[in-house]
């Protein structure tokens, strides 16, 4: 590339970065001004409503507030003291999962031939709940992202809770604090395969187990399903990052700062360095600290002020969450390096760039069970683009999804944060409960991409109920909706991956021998104990002899508690001050994230432009960019097979031709389809669900692109007279069924039915078949 071209590109990059940075700064300032105005304006309105300022802040109010603050302060520090003491006690032994439910250990991975620090638990149902052993088992995989396991069953209203109360057996994959020597992520995947087979052996008469993956447990579930597709049922991945380079890059407020961290830290070498300092073990507290740094307002102020302001009611909930949030687990060097190099920085999972324990790449297209993707627009750790874009990268087109017989369902929450996807009781009672209720119905879907929506309605007695609807989507439309700029912002991450590999090699050659020689188990333990997140806990605990007076003093305060009134003017001033501090920290975060984003693209967009932009794209990309949907190999292969097949292919083709086009699919209608399939099962082919979906996908492509020829060639598929009679008999029974008639077939469906019957009846003879019921004709 000549210097003039590179200079022109650099100027264009700088202009775009400057425009986005300016817009980010403007949005941050507007948000700060609005929050400050609301806080100060509210305080002034409250003061005016109570009279003159001096009268409001009278000595009585002042004394009540001072007493209240002194008491709340003692109770606040006592709560932190309890948190620290619990942390020390849990750290002294082997921390247990923070599960709300009692459980039994089914398999212990530490006893496997290739030992891993994982175990399979079976949860015991709550009192009064009966489990049906013939119902589909659920297998929940929690994230191993620094914390301990159990968040999927953290409370009664949780993923585990809603499945148990629906009568399903529930199994939970947990892990212990210390990894087994030499264990790798591929060993973990192999152990999880054994867990799934064990679940199937315990429930041989049940459908295949549903696998629920939370956050990083999501990609673990996908690896498991792709490496052993015959054993797994539907896959549900919640807030799971699958396409790590993606994000919501737009000229507005930034909302996915974590994706830039790997580049600004120089790639994966830093994880290797941290593991070497830990004498071969990576401290999960580093990952937790990264999460906390995302939201300094909550980390340094809001969660503690919320505890302080509601000290009479909040400690139990605060301590319950901190038991999980403050548990720090370890990984082997091999594990964290595999994760950072293949996933976080390398982004290789969806592309088949990651090999399994047998040497074969993980091919996510081998998954034959339906996949449900649950993400949130309010998630700044796993934005929707990271949860959904791998589908675009993997399948390229809607037609490929259909031809491979895959069903993918997307569910989007509007504003819940990353942790709320897993821990919110409101989300559990709405989204997770509805997912459990519709999984079997989703298995009956024709192949394709679907959007799932859950609408709140009022029941007959006034209680809140939920109505579920599905709408089929085009992959191309979904990609355009989530990626306004055509994903050009992902290109610089190719430069990050290249530089990361270079830095990793340099560190392994130059730095690693020195660091490993200087590290030992004693130094590693000291570094872990004095990590800031651990230090702030054990320093305020029973280990500190200077705090022995605190708990008795707090207990005395509880017995003589004198809270200030909610309308105390000093209390309102306190709330205003808290809001100002929170707004200021949020402003700092917005400006920091904007500067981080600008710095990242300033470095790596130019690096990509200089060294990688002029490379020729691979053949698959060229084909996708230069051809329309009809010219893709999957459509062409399907059209060439238009006259091939038999009764099964004809039935699948007719199912699409007679389906209602373009309308949403209420759950009631889908349940009716499922009921009809069970009633007329003698007319249906005896094949597996995934085989049926693949055949249905190919026939749908044929009928979509060549509808006239699709009908004209039906007699070719039904060459046997008994097949035609059976086919027409099924159509007649369906169109005479009260359930079908009550669903009011539209004119397009009736016209397609008449044409199908006309071309087939002419070959069989009208006398055998008879005519359509009068109600259908009218």
Strand pairing category for 448-458 and 407-413: parallel
Q: CA 226, 191, 281 angle in degrees (round to 5)?
A: 110
Residue 374 pairs in a beta bridge with: 238, 411
- Residue matched to tokens 């989507």: 473
**Of 415, 438, 365, residue with least CA distance to 395:** 365
Nearest-5° Cα angle at 444, 443 to 446: 105
Q: Count CB atoms within 10 A of the CB of residue 408.
A: 24
Q: How far apart are CA 418 and CA 376, in angstroms?
A: 8
Sorting pLDDT into bands at 50, 70 and 90, what band is 55? low
The predicted-structure confidence for 752-770, as pLDDT tens digits, reads as follows 888 998 888 875 554 444 4
Burial (CB < 10 A; 0-12, 13-18, 19+), residue 463, is exposed
What percent of the chain shows pLDDT beyond 70? 93
Q: Which among 376, 378, 380 has a CA at the least distance from the CA of 296?
A: 380
Tell me how far CA of residue 749 lies from CA of 399, 431, 656, 660, 746, in angstroms: 23, 33, 10, 7, 5
The strands making up 235-238's β-sheet, listed across from edge to edge, are 103-108, 118-123, 170-175, 138-141, 210-214, 235-238, 371-376, 407-413, 448-458, 464-473, 665-666
Question: Does residue 625 surpass a pLDDT of 60?
Answer: no
User: What secondary structure does DSSP assign to 700-739, as a single string?
Assistant: HHHHHH-HHHHHHTHHHHT-SHHHHHHHHHHHHHHHH-HH
How sure is the predictor about 254, in pLDDT bands with cuts at 50, 70 and 90?
low
| Beta carbons within 8 Å of 109's beta carbon, 6+ residues apart | 115, 116, 117, 118, 119, 120, 180, 191, 194
Cα–Cα nearest to 394, from 349, 432, 344, 429: 349
Most confident segment among 580-589, 611-620, 669-678, 754-763: 580-589
Residue 586 is predicted with a pLDDT of 95
Do 495 and 607 meet the contact criterion of CB atoms below 8 Å apart?
yes
What is the tens place of the pLDDT at every residue in 210-240?
A: 999 999 999 999 999 998 899 999 999 999 9
Structural domain spans, the chain: 103-259+346-487, 629-777
- What is the rounded average pLDDT of the residues 71-83? 97
Give the span between the Cα atoms of 561 and 522, in whole angstroms: 46
Measured between alpha carbons, how far is 634 from 639 in angstroms, rounded to an integer?
A: 9
Report pTM: 0.90
Closest to 300 (Cα-Cα) out of 38, 532, 566: 532
Contacts 24+ apart (CB under 8 A), 197-204: 197/231, 198/106, 198/107, 198/120, 199/120, 199/137, 199/139, 199/169, 199/171, 200/231, 202/106, 202/137, 202/169, 203/133, 203/134, 203/137, 203/169
Torsion of the alpha carbons at 519, 520, 524 and 525, rounded to the nearest 10: -160
Q: Which top CATH class is 103-259+346-487?
A: alpha beta
Closest to 731 (Cα-Cα) out of 691, 697, 772, 764: 772
Q: Quote helix, strand, coil % in the chain, to nearest 5.
A: 60, 10, 30
Distance separating alpha carbons of residues 411 and 376, to the nearest angstrom: 8
Structure tokens given for 293: 């740094």
Position 771 scores a pLDDT of 44
For 478-493, what is each residue's pLDDT tens digit? 888 888 778 888 999 9
| pLDDT given for residue 90 in this prediction | 92
Give the Cα separation of 489 and 601 in Å (integer). 8
pLDDT higher than 70, residue 669: yes
Quick one: tokens of 435?
A: 């997912």
Q: Residue 335 and residue 516: Cα distance in Å, rounded? A: 17
User: Rounded to an integer, what distance in angstroms lies between the CA atom of residue 547 and that of residue 12?
Assistant: 60
Q: CA nearest 199: which of 148, 158, 152, 140?
A: 140
What pLDDT, in 10s, does the model give residues 323-358?
999 999 999 999 999 999 999 898 888 777 888 767
When pLDDT is averaged across residues 388-400 and rounded to a whole number, the result is: 91
pLDDT for the residue numbered 617: 52
CA-to-CA distance for 468 and 763, rounded, in angstroms?
A: 43
Query: 570 is written with which tokens?
Result: 């000093």
What is the β-pairing status of strands 235-238 and 281-283?
unpaired
Instruction: Give the other-Cβ count within 10 Å of 192's Cβ.
Output: 25
What's the per-residue H, E or C state across 45-104? HHHHHCCCHHHHCCHHHHHHHHHHHHHHHHHHHHHHHHHHHHHHHHHHCCCCCCCCCCEE
First to last CA, the chain: 71
> What span, in angstroms and rounded, lies between the C-alpha atoms of 342 and 349?
7
Task: Give the pLDDT mean for 723-747.
Answer: 86
Instruction: Look at residue 768 in the predicted model and tell me its pLDDT.
Output: 46
Q: What is the mean pLDDT of residues 105-125?
A: 96
The angle that helices 59-92 and 569-611 make with each other, rounded to 10 degrees, is 50
Q: What is the pLDDT of residues 502-512, one digit of tens each?
A: 999 999 999 99
């Amino acid at each position: 590339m000549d210097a003039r071209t590179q200079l022109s590109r650099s100027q264009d990059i700088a202009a775009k970065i400057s425009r986005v940075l300016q817009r980010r700064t403007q949005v941050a300032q507007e948000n700060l001004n609005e929050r400050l105005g609301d806080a100060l304006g509210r305080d002034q309105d409250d003061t005016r409503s109570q009279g003159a300022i001096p009268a409001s802040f009278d000595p009585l109010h002042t004394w009540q507030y001072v007493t209240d603050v002194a008491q709340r302060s003692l109770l606040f520090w006592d709560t932190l003291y309890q948190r620290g003491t619990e942390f020390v006690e849990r750290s002294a032994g082997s921390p247990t999962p923070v599960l709300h439910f009692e459980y039994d250990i089914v398999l212990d991975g530490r006893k496997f031939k290739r030992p891993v620090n994982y175990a399979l638990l079976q949860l015991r149902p709550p009192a009064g709940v009966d489990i049906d052993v013939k119902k589909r088992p659920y297998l929940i995989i929690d994230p191993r992202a620094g914390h301990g396991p159990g968040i999927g069953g953290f409370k009664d209203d949780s993923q585990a809770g809603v499945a148990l109360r629906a009568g399903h057996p529930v199994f939970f994959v947990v892990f212990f604090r210390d990894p087994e020597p030499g264990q790798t992520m591929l060993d973990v995947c192999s152990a999880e395969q054994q867990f799934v087979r064990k679940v199937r052996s315990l429930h041989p008469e049940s459908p295949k187990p549903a696998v629920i993956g939370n956050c990083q447990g999501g990609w673990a579930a996908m690896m498991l399903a792709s490496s052993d597709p015959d054993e797994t049922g539907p896959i549900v991945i919640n807030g799971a990052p699958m396409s790590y380079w993606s994000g919501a890059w737009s000229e507005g407020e930034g909302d996915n700062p974590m994706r830039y961290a790997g580049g600004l830290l120089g790639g994966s070498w830093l994880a290797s360095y941290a593991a070497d300092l830990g004498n071969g073990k990576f401290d999960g507290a580093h990952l937790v600290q990264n999460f906390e740094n995302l939201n300094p307002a909550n980390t340094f102020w809001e969660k503690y002020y919320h505890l302080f302001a509601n000290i009479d009611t909040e400690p139990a909930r605060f301590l319950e969450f901190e038991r999980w949030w403050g548990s720090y687990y370890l990984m082997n060097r091999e594990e964290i390096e595999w994760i950072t190099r293949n996933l976080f920085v390398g982004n290789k999972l969806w592309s088949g760039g990651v090999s399994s324990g047998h040497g074969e790449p993980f091919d996510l297209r081998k998954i034959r069970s339906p996949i449900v993707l649950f993400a949130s627009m309010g998630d700044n750790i796993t934005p929707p683009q990271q949860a959904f874009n791998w589908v675009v990268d993997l399948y390229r087109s809607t037609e490929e999804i259909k031809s491979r017989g895959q069903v993918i369902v997307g569910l989007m929450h509007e504003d819940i944060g990353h942790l709320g996807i897993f821990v919110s009781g409101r989300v559990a009672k709405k989204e997770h409960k509805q997912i459990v209720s519709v999984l079997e119905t989703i298995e009956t879907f024709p192949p394709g991409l679907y959007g799932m929506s859950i609408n709140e309605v009022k029941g007959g007695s006034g209680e809140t109920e939920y109505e579920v609807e599905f709408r089929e989507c085009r992959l191309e439309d979904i990609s355009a909706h989530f990626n306004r700029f055509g994903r050009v912002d992902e290109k610089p991450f190719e430069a990050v991956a290249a530089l990361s590999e270079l830095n990793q090699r340099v560190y392994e050659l130059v730095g690693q021998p020195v660091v490993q020689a200087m590290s030992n188990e004693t130094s590693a333990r000291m570094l872990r104990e004095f990590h800031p997140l651990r230090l702030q806990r054990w320093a305020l605990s029973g280990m500190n002899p200077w705090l022995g007076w605190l708990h008795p003093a707090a207990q005395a305060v509880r017995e003589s508690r004198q809270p200030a009134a909610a309308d105390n003017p000093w209390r309102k001033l306190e709330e205003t001050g808290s809001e100002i501090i929170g707004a200021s920290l949020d402003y700092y975060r917005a400006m920091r994230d904007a500067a981080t984003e600008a710095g990242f693209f300033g470095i790596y967009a130019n690096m990509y432009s200089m060294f990688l932009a002029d490379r020729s794209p691979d053949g698959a990309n060229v084909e996708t960019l230069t051809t329309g949907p009809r010219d893709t190999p999957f459509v062409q292969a399907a059209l060439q097979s238009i006259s091939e097949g038999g009764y099964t292919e004809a039935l699948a083709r007719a199912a699409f031709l007679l389906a209602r086009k373009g309308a949403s699919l209420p759950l009631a209608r889908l349940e009716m389809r499922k009921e009809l399939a069970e009633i007329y099962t003698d007319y249906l082919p005896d094949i597996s669900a995934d085989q049926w979906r693949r055949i249905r996908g190919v026939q749908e492509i044929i009928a979509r692109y060549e509808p006239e020829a699709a009908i004209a060639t039906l007699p070719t598929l039904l060459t046997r007279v008994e097949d035609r009679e059976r086919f027409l008999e099924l159509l007649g029974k369906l169109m005479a069924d009260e359930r079908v008639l009550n669903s009011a077939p539209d004119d397009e469906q009736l016209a397609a039915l008449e044409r199908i019957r006309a071309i087939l009846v002419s070959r069989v003879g009208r006398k055998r078949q008879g005519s359509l019921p009068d109600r259908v004709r009218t």
